[in-house]
Amino acid sequence: MFKLCELTEGHPLYYSGTWLIERTDLLPKFRISLDKFKSWLLMMENEYSPLPYHNRIHAADVLQAFNFAAFNGQWANKFTPIEKLSALIAAVGHDIHHTGLSNQFLVKSRNPMAIMYSDSSVNEFHHSAHMFSTTLASEYNIFADLTTEEYEEVRRIAIKLIIATDMGKHFEILTKFKTKMQDKHFSNLESQENRLMVLEIALKCGDLNNPSKPQEVSFQWSMCVMEEFYRQGDKERELGLPVSNFMDRKFPNVAKCQVGFIDLLVAPLFNTWISFNHDDLSNTIMKHNITYNKIFWQQVAIANQQENESKLRKESLVAKSLSSMVSSIAVNKPAKVPDVPRLPEIYVLQSSDQRLPADDRPERTFSY
């Protein structure tokens, strides 16, 4: 997706969205012209904030990954046209106008958005509201020719899917899906409740898909998200708030953050999806990439730990040398206490930035 952004001169969402929608019959079904939809895509793309991570490239990446997961497998024909249209719209706008700040930060800092949405799924409600309000107020209103019933259905489904991307609801949604899977009739997807649950999980997989990509691409995404984390940490320090875990650029620990991300969130989610989805080829590729990326970050974490241990040993030797010097002075002091000798200055080793050395960084190759 980084390469697509480069090739399209900064319009990955516009081109990927156009490519996907042209391969469906959704627009004629809902009386939406292709030109209007393309203009709407461009407008949505321009509403994405220029952040390191939650930007238009991420939006295009999630749209592509979600479409592949939900609508290119055995379940593609289970969804109704209005469910498909609503889901694609949700994927396009799922992080629109992002602040680059977590829900927890917005609540703790008493941000006006948190006040407006009563501390509940603050970013996600904002994304939904901004997408709909911007669309309805524009000349590119893709909802203009929908019936009242169609519009209300699209809005209900799109909001439901966007809210499902709130990481505060992650375990609740995943647990509910796993419970549903135990019902042997669940995979028939006969009820809309079950179909929307599958779309929620597919969108979550798209949203958290970075470790499922080849290592060089996944690494780029990791660096993007860490920089956005550090910017939040800078704001927290500036406001006198406790700096959140892994968001302090003064004490970086990218490897530990990424291993934890995979272990706690990505692996359980994708294992569940893989057990539901029977696309052997894509399942194999995802499992391989997630496993490889975890091993990569584990190796980086080990290298960082060894480097830190080496520095601690050096600091310990300096401290012991100083202690021995002080003890010698105390034991051999004469009856008349002389002036206190001037001790040599001690060089205190500083903690280094625990990023990969430049020579060890993966080559900046791009892949779509």
The catalytic residues are 54
Q: What is the DSSP string of 294-327?
A: HHHHHHHHHHHHHHHHHHHHHHHHHHHHHHHHHH
The amino acid at residue 304 is: N
Q: Taking the mean position of all CA atoms in its chain, how far away is CA 323?
A: 48
Report the distance separating Cα 57 and Cα 22, nearest Å.
Answer: 20
How far out from the chain centre does Cα 16 lie?
19
Please, how many CA atoms are within 13 Å of residue 167, restricted to the half-sphere of its CB? 11
Contact 13, 48 (CB under 8 A): yes
User: Which residue do the tokens 């830190």 mark?
Assistant: 308
Cα-Cα-Cα-Cα dihedral of 131, 137, 143, 144, to 10°?
180
Q: Are 114 and 182 in contact (CB under 8 A)?
A: no
Report CA torsion sign: 68, 69, 73, 76. negative
The contacts of residue 230 (CB under 8 Å, 6+ apart) are 247, 248, 249, 252
d(C-alpha 314, C-alpha 318), whole Å: 6
3-state helix, strand, coil in the chain (%, to 5): 65, 0, 35
